[in-house]
Structure 1
C-alpha cells in the first residue's frame, strides 16, 4: 500500500517554505534586508536555531545572501535571466530597443488585463497610491522622481496580475531598463509636453484598472507603449539628423 506514517514537519522547513513563497510572489524583493534574527524568529514563532537552519538552507539555494556586519539579504537573482554577452548585444543594437518595447506592449497589456480581472482591492490601492505620487511629482516638476514612479507603477500592475513567472521575468527586464541597457528612460521625462502626455496615459491606465475594465486596461497600456515607441523613433531620428547637420556645418566652415 502506498501509505506512510505521517511525520511532523521540521519547523525549519516550514520557515524555508514561507520565505520561498514570499520571494516567489515578489513580496520579498532582491536586495531587501531581512529583519534581525531575533525579530524574525519572534515574528515567525520559531526558535532561533530553527531559523538559523532555515536561513542556511536558503543561502545554499542561492536565495539569500549574508553581508558581513549588515545582515541577511534576498539575493540579487534577476541578473541570471540574461547572460552578460546578451546584455552587451542589447545595449549596442538599436533594434533591441523596439523589440523590447514590443515585448513590453504584449506582456504588460496582458498583465493589465489580468490585474483588472484578478487583482485584489489592495492591489489596486497600491496602483492608485503610486499614481497619486506620480501626479504629485509631476505637479512639483520633479522629472527624476516621476521617472522612478513610472517604473514602480508598471511593476505594481504586473504584481497585481498574480503570475509569478511574468513577475520575475518583467522585473529582470525592468532591471536592465534602469541600467540604461535599452534606452535612457530619464530622457522622456525632460520635456514638459511629453511628461504631460505620459501622465495622461498613466491616468487612463489607472482609471481602467480601478473600474476593473480588462479590455480598456489593455488598450490603455498598448496606447501608452505605442507612444513611447514613437518617442524613441523621434529621438533616434533627431540624433541622426544632428550628426548629418554637424557634418554639413564642418564642410561649410572648412573644418577638418
Structure 2
C-alpha cells in the first residue's frame, strides 16, 4: 500500500513555510525589517533556537538577509528581475517607455478586472484608503507625494488580483519606474491640467472597483494608461520642438 508513517514537522520548518508564504503573497516586502528575535519568537510561539534555524534556512535560500547591528530584512528579491545591462538599455531608448506602458496597460487592466471579481472587502478598502490619500496629496499640490501614492494605488490593485506571479513581476516593474528608468512620474504631477485629469482617472478606477464592475475597472485602467502614454508623447514632442526653436533663436541672435 502507498502509505508512509507521518513524520512530525520540525518547528523551524513551520516557521520557514509561514515566512515564505508571507513573502510570496507580498505581505512581507523587499527591504522590510523583521521584528527582533525575541519579539518574533514570541509571536510565532517557538523557541529562539528554532527561530534561528528557520532564519538561517531562509537566508540560505536568499529570501532573508542580515545587516550587522541592524537586524534581519526581507532580501531584495526583485533585484534580479532585470539585469543592470538591460536596465541601462531601457533607460536610453524611448521605444522602451511606450512598450512599458503598453505592457502595464495589458497587465494592470487584467489585474483590475480580477480585483473587481476576486478582491476581498479588505482589499478594496486598501484601494479606497489610498485613493483618499491621493485626494489629500492633490489638494496639497505635492508632486512627490502624488507620484508615490500613484505607485501604491496601482500596486494595491495588483495585490487585490491575488496572482502572486503578477504581483512580483509588476513590483519589479514599479521599482524601475520609481528609479526613473522609464520616465519621471513627478513631472506629470507638476502640470495642473494633467494633475486634474490623473485624479479623475484614478477616481474612475476606484469607483469601478468599489462597484465590483470588472469590465468598467479594466476600461478605466486602460483609459488611464492611454492618457499617460499620450501625455508622454506630447511632452517628448514639445521637448524636441523647444530644442529646435532654441537653435533658431541662437542662430538669429548670432546673425
TM-score category by the smaller chain? over 0.9
C-alpha distance in 1, partners of 2:184/2:95? 15
C-alpha distance in 1, partners of 2:24/2:119? 17
1:24 aligns with 2:19: no
Q: Give the match for residue 225 of structure 2.
A: 225
Q: Give the match for residue 208 of structure 1.
A: 208
Deviation at 1:142, TM superposition (A): 1.8
Deviation at 1:2, TM superposition (A): 2.4
C-alpha distance in 2, partners of 1:172/1:155? 11
Q: Give the match for residue 180 of structure 1.
A: 180
Q: Give the match for residue 37 of structure 2.
A: 37
C-alpha distance in 1, partners of 2:89/2:238? 23
Q: Give the match for residue 66 of structure 1.
A: 66
Q: Is the 8 A contact 2:143 2:187 kept in 1?
A: no
Q: CA offsets, 1:148-195, max 9 Å, x none?
A: 100000000000000000000000000000000001111000011110
C-alpha distance in 2, partners of 1:53/1:3? 30
Q: Give the match for residue 86 of structure 2.
A: 86
Q: Give the match for residue 234 of structure 2.
A: 234
Deviation at 1:83, TM superposition (A): 0.6
1:168 aligns with 2:165: no
1:145 aligns with 2:145: yes
Q: Helix, strand or coil: the match of 1:72?
A: strand
Q: CA offsets, 1:92-122, max 9 Å, x none?
A: 0000000000000000000000000000000
Q: Normalising by structure 2, report the TM-score.
A: 0.99
Q: Give the match for residue 97 of structure 2.
A: 97
In the alignment, structure 1 segments of 5+ residues that lack a partner are: none
Q: Is the 8 A contact 2:208 2:217 kept in 1?
A: yes
C-alpha distance in 2, partners of 1:143/1:113? 28
Q: Give the match for residue 154 of structure 2.
A: 154
Q: Give the match for residue 125 of structure 1.
A: 125
C-alpha distance in 2, partners of 1:135/1:52? 44
Q: Normalising by structure 1, report the TM-score.
A: 0.98
In the alignment, structure 2 segments of 5+ residues that lack a partner are: none
Q: Give the match for residue 53 of structure 1.
A: 53
C-alpha distance in 2, partners of 1:144/1:194? 15
Deviation at 1:252, TM superposition (A): 1.0
Q: Give the match for residue 136 of structure 2.
A: 136
Aligned length: 255
Q: Is the 8 A contact 2:188 2:195 kept in 1?
A: yes
The list of structure 1 runs, each at least 4 consecutive aligned residues, that deviate by more than 2 angstroms after superposition, is none
